Amino acid sequence: MSITKEEVLHVAHLARLEFSEEEVTRFTEQLADILSYVAKLNELDTSHVEPTYHALKLTNVFREDEVKESLPPEKALQNAPEREDNFFVVPKVIK
Amino acid sequence: MQWHRLSLNELREKLLAGEVSSKALTEYFLERISKLDPQIRAYITLTGEEALKQAQAADEALERGEGEKRPLLGLPLAIKDNICTDGVRTTCASKILENFVPPYEATVIERLRDAGAVFLGKTNLDEFAMGSSTENSAFFPTHNPWDLSRVPGGSSGGSAAAVAAGLCAGALGSDTGGSIRQPASFCGVVGLKPTYGRVSRYGLVAFASSLDQIGPLTKTVADTALLLRVIAGPDPRDSTCAPEEVPDYLAALERDLKGLKVGLPKEYMGEGLDPEVRQAVEKALEVFEKMGLEVREVSLPHAPYAIAAYYIIAPAEASSNLARYDGVKYGLRVEGKDLIDMYKKTRSQGFGPEVKRRIMIGTYALSAGYYDAYYKKASQVRTLIAEDFSKAFEEVDFVVGPVAPSPAFKIGERIDDPLQMYLSDIYTISVNLAGIVGLSLPCGFSQEGLPIGLQIMGPHFSEPQVLALGHQFEKTLDLKPKEPEL
C-alpha cells in the first residue's frame, strides 16, 4: 500500500493540519509503512462478518426528558481563547 | 514510618485505628514527591495545598466516625492528567490543553471525592494517551523507578511510576490499547482495564470512545478491588456505561478457585516474545497449577491481526474526537489569516507528532472511498477477535499470558519508529477490542532487575473472578522485592 505526497497534503487539509516540506516527506513514509502493515487485514475473508462498533450489546439508552441544572455560561466560557459577553469570538467567516 | 510501603487497604486500617492522620500521610507523600519526583517526573501538576485541606477535612470526618462508610477516607491518590478535575488544570500532556482548567468534574473524581480520597496531583502521560512509553508527553518524559534510563511504559506512565516509587498510595489511569496494563507491567505494579462500560467515561478526555476505559493502578490486587468498587457503576452522563450492579470486589477476593481452568493462548507465546518474559509466564502457570487450577492451551487465531485492526479503529475514532480542538471554545488558539488558517495553525502548533500521525491515519481511513476498505474491514476483524475470546471462554474461565513482549525499554530506543512502538501493545490490544477484563500484575523480574507482568483476562463483567485469581496468585507467589530502591 503506498500513499503519495499529494494524498498526504489532501488528508492534512481534511484534518485541518499543515506540515513543513520535511514533515510531509516523513509522514508520507511513516503512513505508507503503517498502511502496508494494516493491509494484512486483507488476508482475512470478512464478507460474512458483521462489524463491531461497540463492545457491549447496549442499544438505545433512554432517560426522561427533564430540565436539569447545566453549566452556567460563565463557567462554560472560562477557557475561551477570546470571548465577548456570553459568546465565543471567532475570525470573520462571511466576507 | 515508611508509609509508602503500605497498601491502600493497610493505610485505611491505620487511619481507622487512628494510628496515623490523613494530614500526616499527605505531608509524608508530598515530601517524598519533592525529594524523588525531580528524578522520576511522574507529576505534571501538584495540588499540595488542596491536598492538605482535603486531608484536614478527612481527619475531621474520621473523627466523626465516617470512616466505615467512606472507603477511601484520607487516602492520598494520583490522577492521570486526561481525567477532568474541576478547577485543577487538565493538560492531557498536550500543548493544546496546557492551560485548560475544566469547569466540571469527571464522574470518577466525584466518586473518589465522595469516598473521601485526597488528591496529590495529576500525572504524566503520552499526549492524549497516545503512546506506549510516556515519551510522547509534550512536557517531559517520565522515568522508570526501577531503572531511570528506561521508560515507565505508557500511556499511563506517570501514574504507574508514581505508584511504583511510592509517590502516592494509589492512582487512576486510562486504557485504550494497554495504557494501564503495559505501564503497570513495566513498573512492577497492579493495573486493571475493567470491562468496557464498567466505569463511566464522563470527564475522561476522549481518545477512542469505543475502547477507552478508566481503571486503577495500585500496589496490590486488593487495592485495585477497593478502588474499582468506588469508581464503577452506571452513570446517567455516560450512555455507554453499563447498567450492571457493582459487586463487592473485596469480599470476592478469597473465593474458592480450585478446579477452574486457565487457558494460555498459543499465539501469545510465539515469535517476538522475550525469553525472560516467557520464562516468567511459564513459572506463573506452575503457580496456578499449585493453586489447584487446571492449565491448558487455547487458541485466539485472529490475535495476529489485532494491532492492524486497532491502528485503524483507534486513530479513526481519535481523528473524529480530536476535531474539537479548534481554538474556539477552549485550549490554545494561534491566530491565522482566516478561520481555516486559524484552525490549521492552532492544531499544527498544539499537537505533537504522534497525535498528528494518528489524526492523519484516522482521517485517511475515514475519508471518501476508503471507509469500507479500512474502518469497516477493521471493525469486522474486531468481531472475529471478540469471537475468539468468546470461544476460548467456553473452554476456560480465564485466559492468561504476557502483558508486553519485553520488560521496560530504554528512553529514546523506539521513539523514531512508530510501528515498532505500536508492536509493544500486541498482547493488550485485543482485550480493548473485545471489551473484556484485563488485569496486569507482577510475576517476576528480568536478570537486570526489571519487573515482568502477567496478564489475566476474563469475560465481560468477570472482575470478581479475575481479581480473586490475581489476589490469590499474588499471595502464593509473594514476589520480592516489592519496590525499587530510590
The CATH number of whichever domain residue B237 belongs to comes to 3.90.1300.10
- Pair (B95, B203) in one structural domain: yes
Q: How many CB atoms lie within 10 A of CB B196?
A: 26
Set of chain A residues whose Cβ sits within 8 Å of the Cβ of B195: 56
With respect to residue B460, please indicate whether it lies within any of the assigned structural domains.
Answer: no
Per-residue confidence (pLDDT) for residue B160, from 0 to 100? 98
Are residues B241 and B309 located together in one domain of the fold?
A: no
- Look at residue B374 in the predicted model and tell me its pLDDT: 95
ipTM over 0.85? The verdict is yes
B220 and B84 share a domain? yes
Cell digits of residue B305: 491481526
| One domain, residues B42 and B125 | yes
Residue listed under C-alpha cell 507528532: B353
Residues B237 and B329 in one domain: no
Position A94 confidence tier, pLDDT thresholds 50, 70, 90 = confident
Out of B7, B21, B22, B80, the active site residue is B80
- Is B282 part of a structural domain of the chain? no
Q: What is the CATH number of domain A5-43?
A: 1.10.20
| Domain span including residue B325 | 304-377
- Tracing cell 502483558 back to the chain, one arrives at B403
Assess A14–B contact: CB distance below 8 Å, yes or no: yes
Give ∠ CA B83-B85-B89 in degrees, rounded to 5.
Answer: 95
CA atoms within 13 A on the CB side of B61: 25
User: Which letter, b or e, does each residue of B247-270 get, where b requires 16 or more Cβ atoms within 10 Å of its Cβ?
Assistant: eebbebbeeebeebbbbbbebbee
Cα separation, B219 vs B169, whole angstroms: 8
How many CB pairs below 8 A link A and B?
164
**If pLDDT is split at 50, 70 and 90, which confidence band does A63 have?**
confident
A34–B contact, CB cutoff 8 A = yes
Number of structural domains found in chain B: 2
Put simply, the answer to whether A46 touches B381 (Cβ < 8 Å) is yes
Distance CA B295, CA B135 (A): 38
- Give me the average pLDDT of each 10-residue run along chain B (486 residues): 96 98 98 98 98 98 97 98 98 98 98 98 98 97 98 98 98 98 98 98 97 98 98 95 96 97 95 94 98 98 96 97 97 96 98 96 93 95 98 98 97 88 92 98 98 98 98 97 92
Helix (H, G, I), strand (E, B) or coil at B119: strand
Same domain flag for B170 and B241? yes
B419 is a domain residue? no
Domain shared by B133 and B9, yes or no: yes
Could you tell me if B159 and B62 lie in one domain? yes
Q: How confident is the model at residue A1 (pLDDT cuts 50, 70, 90)?
A: low
Q: CA separation (Å) from B224 to B170, B173, B191, B193, B221?
A: 8, 12, 7, 10, 5
Distance of residue B10 Cα from the nearest chain A Cα, in angstroms: 35
Q: Which of B359, B377, B395 is the last residue of a domain?
A: B377
- Contact of B300 with B388, CB cutoff 8 Å: yes
Chain A CB within 8 Å of residue B329 CB: yes
Gyration radius from chain B CA atoms? 21
Q: In this structure, is residue B461 part of a structural domain?
A: no
CA gap B255, B251 in Å, rounded: 8
For residue B135 the three cell numbers come to 515519551
Q: Are residues B28 and B156 in the same domain?
A: yes
Q: What is the pLDDT of residue A57?
A: 81
- Encode burial over B54-90: b for 16+ CB neighbours within 10 A, e otherwise: bbbbbbebbeeeebeebbbbbbbbbbbbbbbbbebbb
Domain C-terminal end among B362, B377, B392: B377
Nearest to B25 by CA among B8, B45, B42, B47: B8
CA–CA separation, B139 and B91 (whole Å): 10
Q: How far is CA B219 from CA B80, B161, B187, in A?
A: 16, 11, 10
Binary contact (A81, B328; C-beta < 8 A): yes
Residues B176 and B235 in one domain: yes
Q: Provide the shortest C-alpha distance from residue A14 to chain B (in Å).
A: 7
Q: Are both B116 and B203 inside the same structural domain? A: yes
In a domain, B120, yes or no: yes
User: Is residue B384 assigned to a domain?
Assistant: no
User: Known catalytic residue: B155?
Assistant: yes
Question: What is the C-alpha to C-alpha distance for residues B260 and B461, in angstroms, rounded to an integer?
Answer: 17
**Which of A3, A58, A92 is closest, CB to CB, to B242?**
A58
- Residue from B22, B179, B185, B440 carrying the catalytic annotation: B179
Look at residues B377, B395, B415 and tell me which one is the last residue of a structural domain.
B377
Check if B159 is active-site.
Answer: no
- Using a 10 angstrom Cβ sphere, with 0-12 exposed, 13-18 middle and 19 or more buried, the burial of residue B229 is buried
Is B146 in contact with B444 (CB distance < 8 Å)?
no
Q: What is d(CA B224, CA B463) in angstroms, rounded to the nearest whole number?
A: 10
Residues B215 and B329 in one domain: no
* DSSP one-letter string for B218-245: ESSHHHHHHHHHHHBS--TT-TTS--PP
